Structures are given as structure tokens and as C-alpha cells.
Structure 1
Amino acid sequence: MKIGELARRAGVTIKAVRYYESLGLITPCRLANGYRDYEEDDVRLVREIRALAGLGIPVERTRPFLECLASGQRHADDCPASLAGYREAIDELTERIEALTSRRATLMRQLRQAAYRNSSSPAPDDGEHTMTDFHHLPADLPVPEDDGAADHLPGLKAPHLELVDTTGETVRIDALGSGRTIVYIYPLTGRPDVDLPDGWDSIPGARGCTTEACDFRDHHQELLAAGARRVFGLSSQDTAYQREVVERLRLPFVMLSDPRLNLAAALGLPTFDVDGMTLFKRLTLVIRDGVIEHVFYPIFPPDVHAQQVLAWLRDNPVA
């Protein structure tokens, strides 16, 4: 057969076949006109080379396997020299894995130190975790649907509930004062050195707490100028966890901690379960003079939600 047919049947390029021939791994016959003539055995040899290369064995080191086939063995690794080739390839991979693991650990330490450099909380040293970029949202996040779980909220009085903020002060939800207060409620803020819950990105409305906080940070002064008296973030994470987030992200407002989800119980707020945790679904309350005036739910995308709130405040000024 011609070289083109061999390449097609073996699943390689003509250039690759010529390279194998230059190494002496295959030796075609020559016809009277000088053309190469390949046989079925050559197809088998080239397929074996391709398979071994896919395992990471360099083409130049496939010779023992090909010689094993040429000796009449049924499989290319039926010979001791082939087994030695496997062991050599495994040893090299082990060395590369160890080197890459060491480099990865160094990069993770650098990232952890950089992430906590401006925080009073020490960078945790609790083993290796997969790093997640919380400042950018994946392009294929599922969009949450309006299930009506917040339709009952407008017009309700703010409940008599005391929550601790990240300064250690106690805040009463029914005593926020006159004017409008923005309380954006979110499920869970991630840390750069800790994995998110399994399947987090596939839960509609779950991903994006850091980007949402940053958007409220970046538009905080505009929100106040548009009529918001105060802005709070609220989740079920404990105060110490939230305090680290406030410091790391340099948030100009405080967070409220509701680890028992008392606000959800008092108002019938929507929640969801993941990894054994019950978390708030993302929504925002506009509380005016002790009454819920407006609710944003569902929220998407979270990284521009503060701008959505800002637009609503400007469109609905207080007389």
C-alpha cells in the first residue's frame, strides 16, 4: 500500500510516517519504480507507536515494543524490554508530577499570602485547596427563575430581630431608622483558598457573592446620594468570617450575620440546601421606615446588582 493509505488507516499524518521511517521503526519495501510499499504489519506498528505516544512514551523509545511485535508476540508489551519501557516512563512521570506539585503548592502559598495581605485575619494554613477566581463570573452560569417566593414581602413590617454586624455592634432590623435602608442578602461569600460547595456553579443564583459585594462597594457613595440611608450585606456566615471579607474586599459598609437564618423564618425568605447547609437565596430588601418597600428577586447577574438598585432608587425618589 502507498504511504497515504497507511497514514489514513493508522490515524497519523504522512509526515509522521516518514519520521518513523527515518528512525528505523518501520522499513517499507521498495517497488521497481522506487515507491515505498507498506504492508499490514506496518499499519500495526504505526498504530502501536501512536498508542504509546498517547501514553506519554516518546516515539524514539517505542522500539522495544515494536521489536516485541516483530518477534511474533501477540502484544507489544509481552516482552521484558517492554515492561522496562513502562517503568522508565512511569518514573519520569512521577518526577514531573512531584515537580509540578511543588510548583503548584508554591503558587498557592503566594496566592494565599497576597489574598490576606491587607486583612487582619491570618492566612489559613490548612492544606491545599482548589483556587477559584471569585472576581469573575463563569460565562455559562444558570439564570435563576422567579418562583414567586418573594412576592409576599412588599408591605411587610421589618421583624423585631437583632443581628450582630462586623464591627461587633447589634443591629435591630425593625429599628433601622427613617428613610431607606438597603439589605442585600446572599448565600455565601467564598475565600480564595477554600473550595466552593460541590456543584455551586450549577445552582441558579448561587455564584457571584464576591462580585455582588464589590459592586455595592464601588457604587456605595452613589447609592447614598440616591437616597439610601445605609447599606448592609447579610448572610448566614459567622461574624468572624464576614469580617475577613469586609477587610479583604475593603467594603465601606458592614455585614450582618444570621447563622440561624432567623430572618428567613420571620419573613418566609427563600432558602436552598447544599453540602448539608441551608443558605439564603440571593435577594435584596429596600426597607423604608420599618416596612419592606421593595424587593429584588431573583437577582441576575449579581455583579451589576448594585447598579440595578441604584437605577431603582433614582427612578423612585422619596418625595
Structure 2
Amino acid sequence: MRISELARRAGVTTKAVRYYEALGLVTPRRLANGYRDYDEDDVRLAQEIRALRSLGIPAERTRPFLDCLEAGRRHADDCPASLAGYRDAIDELTERIEALTARRAALISHLQEAAHRNSTVAPVHANHPPDQAGRAGHPHPAHEAEGLSDALTEDPMNDYLSLPDDLPVPDDDGAAGHLPGMKAPSTAFAGTAGETIRIDALGAGRTVIYVYPLTGRPGTDLPEGWDSIPGARGCTPESCGFRDHYQDLLAAGAAGVFGLSSQDTGYQREVVERLDLPFQMLSDPASDLAETLRLPTFEISGMTLYRRLTLIIRDGVIEHVFYPVFPPNEHAEQVLAWLRDNPL
């Protein structure tokens, strides 16, 4: 057969076939006119080279496998030399993995240092998440090496500023339908600026309060299965959206903007500093607002967290509610559009 036919049947290019010939891996016979003539054995060899290259074994190191086939074995890895070829490839791959893992650990260390350089909150090690009070955990020394390996395996480099394309969209289950027209409760919450904020004493005009589950922190894993919960992922992009449109929101009639979650004030303060938020976060660790207003929540990893929604409070009354919120990274623009469409 001609070289084009061999290439088609083996699933490679004619250039690849010529390369295999240059290495002496495929040796077609020559016809009287000088043309190369390939047979079924050449097809089998070319297919084997392609399969081994897909495993990361370069063509020039496939000779032991091809010799095994040419010796009449049914499989290219039925010979001891082939097994040795596998081991050599595995050893080289292991060395590369170790080098990349060390480089990745160094990058994580630099990221954490940079992310907390201007923060008054101590950084949290990737494999020691904060406890209920927001403090960094301190493992037993015997678990240090194992913990570092676990942290690298569990991908502590979560990119909280971007959203996966396949996030599930939350449904409107009617859990916020009762809120418009309700009076704002007298519940008070600690703010990240050190003051106490009462929901019924926000003053005249409109106040935007976006309620969210929790914000992630660089180097700290999110709860297992987080991305599969409709409406859970995206608190950091949402907060950045309100930061970027903060002045626009004020110009459109908002007297103030707050974020609210069940995370403690220390954790929220780190977020405010790291993201350079121009507004305060409010801490509701006991989910008091959920109880007084019957706000929707969900359970995960032993925590009760708020479902994402936004309240527009005007003169002590809930004027409008955004629920469900999706996509969270565009929500600040949705609120801004509503304020502009509904001027005071």
C-alpha cells in the first residue's frame, strides 16, 4: 500500500510515517520503480507507535514494544523489555510530577503571602482551614507532610474570581415571595468597620443588602460539593461586582450597600481588606435574620448558610427582593438596572 493509505489506516500523518522510517521503526520494501510499499505489519507498527505516544512515550523509545510484536507476541507489552519501558516512562513522569508539585507549592505560598500582605488577619494555611472563630488551625507536627500533600491534591488554588461554565441555575422556589412589604426587623449586626448596624435604622432612602452563603479565601478549600449546589458558588465575584459598581449604585439612588452572611466578622474583615470593598459586611453567625424574616437557607458540612438573595430596604420596609440571584457575577448590574428603572 502507499504511504497515504498507511497513514489513514494507522491514524497518523504521512510526515509521522516518514519520521518513523527515519528512526528505523517502520521499514517498507522498495518496488522496482523506487516507491515505498507498506503492508499490514507496518500498519500495526504505526498504530502501536501512535498508541504509545499518546501515553507519553516518545517514538524513539518504542523500539522494545515493536520488537515484541515482530517477535510474534500478541501484544506489544508481552515482553520484559516492554515492561522496562513502562517503568522508565513512569519514573520520568514521577520526577516531573514532583518538580511541578514543588513549583505549585511555591506559587501557592507566594499567593497567600501576597493576598494577605496588607491584611490584619493572619493567613490561613491551605490544609488548615479556620475554625468556627475564624482562627487558623494548628495540626499535630506528625501530620505536616501528609497535610501538605493533601492540600495540593485537593486543589487549594481555587479561583474564586471566576465561575465554572456549568454552574447549576437555582430555581425560584417561592421562598422569598413573602418578603416585599415586610417591615425591616430591629435585628442588629456587627459590621466590619467596628460599628453595629440595625436593619430597621438604616435611615431614609434605599439600602441594598445582598445576602450570600460564604466567601472563599485563597488557599482554603470550599465545602465538598460546593459547585453542585444551585446558587452557592460566586460570592467573591458578586462582592467584586458591588465594589466595582458602588458609585453607580449610589448615583442611582442607593443610600448604602451592605453584604451579609453567617461568617464571623474577622473572616469578613479579611475579605473587605483583600477585595478592597468600599462598604461593610454584616455578620449574622446565629442566622437571626433568617429566623425573623424566614429567609431561605441550606445545610452543608454542618453549617447553616444563607441562600443568595438581595433586599432593597426603603424607609424601614422591604421594597423589593432579588431571588434567586444568578449569575452572581452580574448581579450588581441587575440591581443597578432596577434602581435606574425605579427612581425615587
How high is the TM-score relative to the length of structure 1? 0.90
Q: CA deviation at 1:68?
A: 1.8
Deviations along 1:176-197, one digit per CA (max 9) or x if unpaired, are 3444332111111111222333
Query: Structure 2: which amino acid aligns with 1:20?
Result: Y
Alignment partners' CA distance in 2, 1:238 and 1:200: 20
Alignment partners' CA distance in 2, 1:211 and 1:62: 49
Question: What is residue 30 of structure 2 aligned with on the other side?
Answer: 30
Question: What is residue 81 of structure 1 aligned with on the other side?
Answer: 81
Deviations along 1:43-70, one digit per CA (max 9) or x if unpaired, are 2212211111111111111111111222
> Would you say the 8 A contact 2:172–2:323 is kept in 1?
yes
Report the aligned-residue RMSD. Answer: 2.3
Q: 1:14 to 1:155 in 2, by over 3 A?
A: same
Alignment partners' CA distance in 2, 1:180 and 1:17: 72
Question: What is residue 331 of structure 2 aligned with on the other side?
Answer: 305
Deviations along 1:175-232, one digit per CA (max 9) or x if unpaired, are 3344433211111111122233344344433332222222222333443444433322
Partner secondary structure for residue 185 of structure 2: coil
Deviations along 1:90-123, one digit per CA (max 9) or x if unpaired, are 1111111111111111111122222112211122
Q: 1:164 to 1:66 in 2, by over 3 A?
A: same
Q: CA deviation at 1:256?
A: 1.0
Question: Is 1:243–2:266 an aligned residue pair?
Answer: no
Partner secondary structure for residue 174 of structure 1: helix
Deviations along 1:65-84, one digit per CA (max 9) or x if unpaired, are 11122222232222222222
Question: What is residue 211 of structure 2 aligned with on the other side?
Answer: 185
Alignment partners' CA distance in 2, 1:87 and 1:314: 66
The more displaced of 146-155 and 98-107 is 146-155
Alignment partners' CA distance in 1, 2:340 and 2:113: 41
Question: Is 1:205–2:234 an aligned residue pair?
Answer: no
Q: CA deviation at 1:153?
A: 0.6
Q: CA deviation at 1:242?
A: 0.6
Query: Structure 2: which amino acid aligns with 1:9?
Result: R
Partner secondary structure for residue 91 of structure 1: helix
Query: Structure 1: which amino acid aligns with 2:160?
Result: F
Alignment partners' CA distance in 2, 1:34 and 1:313: 80
Query: Structure 2: which amino acid aligns with 1:272?
Result: F
Partner secondary structure for residue 200 of structure 2: coil
The more displaced of 25-34 and 224-233 is 224-233
Question: Is 1:163–2:194 an aligned residue pair?
Answer: no
The match for 2:258 among 190, 214, 232 is 232
Q: How does 1:4-83 map to 2 (within 5 A)?
A: 4-83=4-83
Question: What is residue 284 of structure 2 aligned with on the other side?
Answer: 258
Alignment partners' CA distance in 1, 2:74 and 2:205: 84
Partner secondary structure for residue 90 of structure 1: helix
Query: Structure 2: which amino acid aligns with 1:46?
Result: A
Q: CA deviation at 1:164?
A: 1.9
Query: Structure 2: which amino acid aligns with 1:217?
Result: R
Which segments of 5 or more consecutive residues in structure 2 lack a partner in the other structure? 128-150
Alignment partners' CA distance in 2, 1:86 and 1:114: 42
Q: CA deviation at 1:297?
A: 2.0
Alignment partners' CA distance in 2, 1:178 and 1:113: 42
Question: What is residue 268 of structure 1 aligned with on the other side?
Answer: 294
Alignment partners' CA distance in 2, 1:249 and 1:41: 63
The more displaced of 87-96 and 197-206 is 197-206
Alignment partners' CA distance in 1, 2:16 and 2:251: 68
Partner secondary structure for residue 312 of structure 2: strand
Query: Structure 1: which amino acid aligns with 2:98?
Result: E
Alignment partners' CA distance in 2, 1:72 and 1:311: 74
Q: CA deviation at 1:138?
A: 4.0
Q: 1:79 to 1:313 in 2, by over 3 A?
A: closer
Query: Structure 1: which amino acid aligns with 2:89?
Result: A
Q: CA deviation at 1:312?
A: 3.4
Q: CA deviation at 1:140?
A: 4.7
Q: CA deviation at 1:160?
A: 3.2
Taking every aligned residue pair, what percent have the same amino acid on both sides? 73
Alignment partners' CA distance in 2, 1:24 and 1:70: 13
Partner secondary structure for residue 231 of structure 2: coil
Partner secondary structure for residue 99 of structure 1: helix
